[in-house]
Chain A
């Protein structure tokens, strides 16, 4: 039998060294007894310890995941932890995949230990309560805490990073941690009587605790699952938990039973909460009216109506399908990727962007949510029809010479019927009201093309179509 005595309860390095040697000497887990200096198990060790094993030349490796697991599990208070971890190491050296087998009893045991340690650490971060000694700049903050496992060294750096600007001490029965504003240090454990008994802010904290509690939602079990009673004795707010619970029923009953008092007459408000923009011209009036459009159900799920934009004296009106994700959020047409492509093509075609009005056939974004994104949906004919009034009113407000319909939905709206793009693109078409129309693809169609060559080709055709618009624009500018 080998007796291994570790220096402290949290002495991972010595455990690791010893475990390494034991494995290399083929010492079976059943042949090792682990103990800690001054601990109880040590009493049973024979007076003359077995000779310390010499380091052997051999080597073996285990996964980093095990080292991590062992480093945490070793902080558990269970005296068997050293033996359990050694047994696991013994089995892992020939079976590396074992570490992934959650159903293995040893893995399950070690994992449960590590989980308990992490939970205790987390609870220490949460439930330590500092009490002020001295005032303001000369203050020192001292807390008393009773951890379930050996976690003081594990948890202390968190407090050092968080409260870097104040000197503090956390006293526990195992070990005390201190921060002087520069470095962490540890001293042996003390008793509770060493810790301060109160803090001037605790009454304020209790008042907050009582006020933030909603007596109509009493769920004592849920509270106790997360904040077990064992922590209560060191929490200043815990003293009022019982009275709060006892009073909850009465308070809720009173809220329900008491008839509402006569409504308090609000004072005259100094300012209307939502100011509406003042209407300046026809287009602005239209925009304001369209913002409240309920002509089809699309408004319900969309963020806002995305109305057309551009100068009232525009000579060209570009009509797209509908706003996309980004347009819906921003409230402006063609600000997303398709808009950037359109801007580039317009510039290449030589269209004067300052004389262009851009809008969409349908003015709300139609989509279905898929997790964190929204999938674009093609507008249906009733939606296109319902929205057409806005397009017509935009046309009469702007009186453009040319209307460019981009994509099938726009073409359907501009011509009032389904109008294929392939057959009609690339030439000026007369509209019944004497205006010219031009049909082309929607820029988002270009974005969707998978084949890069087709993309270049189709983009060229798109620019060519827009060149027709540019030459018409130049002609009319010349005429004016």
Chain B
């Protein structure tokens, strides 16, 4: 099988992993003339976008799509009849360098099916990173999938070469993982995430205390994980509760939500329908509310335990808490401003900086880059106050609901 055909099979096998981030790592470049590559620590670079709207930043492939495990939701499960392939270590190294040299990618995201044993698989994955870093002095971004229960020495080595490590939690609940991925053990996954966090903390402590010894490098872009949405019956509250737990416990940089999508040769036990893309989008919004807007899981989801699909979760929260509005944005605290529907973190910073020197008026809203119609019922300005009954109206919500349109495409 030629490398192009292998690439097709092994990229196809890797695309259900949503992560493609290349940001948040240490600053690195090749200006010392040895090797090639650099990182863009602030914001990652997306070198292309596929028609699914997803960024293509990294060469995202599996080393092999052969797998011992039989996880029902997975395109690579042992019992599937998809074609199988396996890259040699040199083939992945060469593809990465060739693509990188042409500025197609920021680096490599390498994962693998579990073959022989967790340790054997991890060793193969680490070998690619080792070769890129040690032999080719590759300074680009590397994301490695960590195999749960792999030996500590292998994990330490993976962290030395990789910018980011990840282990997928896969399912929001232990019971669904048992049902869909009987060979996977959520306890083993969490223990490994715990081990990663201890190593990440240690590396960070070393960086902050100034010692002469060069600190042991460990995955400067941290760890992340992914949860599949819509394959099991978990509700949004359960999903977000699991995310909050994972963020707090393992200092994850990101939890990715992946709407379960039809796969070639899918198992009969799973819902083969259009992926719940809008639900996935709402979960990302809710995730942002938890991380950057000071919201608690319990505040984001109401008693129905599901996020509304027609309006975003912050607006839904505001409509449930009309007594807190309207808010005078020339006076409100940062925490309060962050809770106004339509205000992003940057808009809040602009408001706070601007109101120090001047009073914000109705005509200023456009220059603050906030959606005027959305925010007006919730705010007071020096020349604007929503009609007193406005917030009490049952119809307020209608104002925000999208016009009835078809989402995605029909059959």
Query: Binding site of B, secondary structure by majority: helix, strand, loop or mixed?
Result: loop
Closest chain A CB from B80 CB (angstroms) = 6
CB pair B367–A221 under 8 Å, yes or no, is no
Residue of A nearest to B12 (CB): A211
CA–CA, A125 and B48, complex, Å: 11
| Interface hit among B160-168, B210-218, B264-272 | B264-272
**Given A130-B101, A130-B103, A374-B248, also A256-B43 (CB < 8 A):** no
B116 touches A270 (CB 8 A): yes
Asked if A205 lies at the interface with its beta carbon under 8 angstroms from chain B, I say yes
B30 touches A164 (CB 8 A): yes
- Which residues of B are found within 8 Å of A208, using beta-carbon distances? 7-8, 11, 59, 99
Residues of B in contact, count (CB < 8 Å): 104
Q: How far is the CA of A241 from the CA of B49 in the complex (A)?
A: 10
Contact of A274 among B3, B116, B185 (CB under 8 A): B185
**Known contacts A165-B30, A209-B56, A218-B51; A100/B357 CB under 8 A:** yes
Residues A372 and B367 in contact, CB atoms below 8 Å apart: no
Does A237 interact with chain B (Cβ within 8 Å)? yes
Q: Which residues of B contact A97 (CB under 8 A)?
A: 356-357
Stretch at the interface among A222-230, A310-318, A414-422: A222-230
A130 touches B4 (CB 8 A): no
CB distance from B318 to the nearest CB of A (A): 21
* Chain B residues in 8 Å Cβ range of A301: 245, 249
Say whether A373 faces chain B, with CB atoms less than 8 Å apart: yes
Contacts of B46 in A (CB 8 A): 126, 226
Name the distance in Å between B354's Cβ and chain A's nearest Cβ: 5
B16: interface (CB < 8 Å): yes
CA A273 – CA B81 in complex, angstroms?
A: 21
Q: Contact at B15–A213, with CB atoms within 8 Å?
A: yes
Cα distance, A249 to B117, chains bound together (Å): 38
Q: Are A103 and B261 in contact (CB under 8 A)?
A: no
Contact of A329 with B68 in the complex, beta carbons under 8 Å:
no
Q: Which chain A residue lies CB-closest to B353? A: A100
Cα A269 to Cα B116 in complex, Å, equals 8
Give residues of chain A (91-136) contacting chain B, Cβ–Cβ below 8 Å. Answer: 97-98, 100-105, 108, 122, 125-132
Measured CB to CB, the nearest residue on chain A to B294 is A371
A369 and B245 contact, CB distance less than 8 A: yes
User: B265 and A217: CB pair below 8 A?
Assistant: no
Min CB distance A242 to B, Å, is 9
Q: Does B32 contact A (CB under 8 A)?
A: yes
- The answer to the question of B63 belonging to the interface, with a C-beta cut-off of 8 Å to chain A, is no
Whether B116 pairs with A255 at a CB distance below 8 angstroms is: no
| A253 CB-CB contact with B under 8 Å | yes
Q: Do the beta carbons of A256 and B273 come within 8 Å of each other?
A: yes
Contact with A264, one of B14, B69, B78, B251 (Cβ below 8 angstroms):
B78
Q: B48 and A209: CB pair below 8 A?
A: yes
Give Cα A161–Cα B34 distance, bound, in whole angstroms. Answer: 11
**Contact call A264/B79, Cβ cutoff below 8 A:** yes
CB <8 Å contact, B102 and A132:
yes
The 8 A-B residue pairs whose C-beta atoms are closest, nearest first, are A222-B53, A369-B248, A219-B53, A103-B364, A263-B79, A266-B78, A329-B194, A161-B29
Name A's B-contacting residues (CB within 8 A).
97-98, 100-105, 108, 122, 125-132, 141, 143, 158-166, 181, 199, 201, 203-205, 207-223, 226-227, 235, 237, 241, 244-245, 248-249, 252-253, 255-256, 258-266, 269-271, 273-274, 291, 300-301, 303-304, 326, 328-331, 367, 369-374
21 contacts between A and B (CB under 8 A): A97-B357, A102-B368, A103-B354, A108-B367, A127-B48, A129-B102, A132-B101, A164-B29, A164-B36, A205-B102, A213-B50, A217-B52, A226-B46, A226-B49, A227-B49, A241-B51, A248-B51, A265-B79, A273-B69, A328-B249, A369-B248
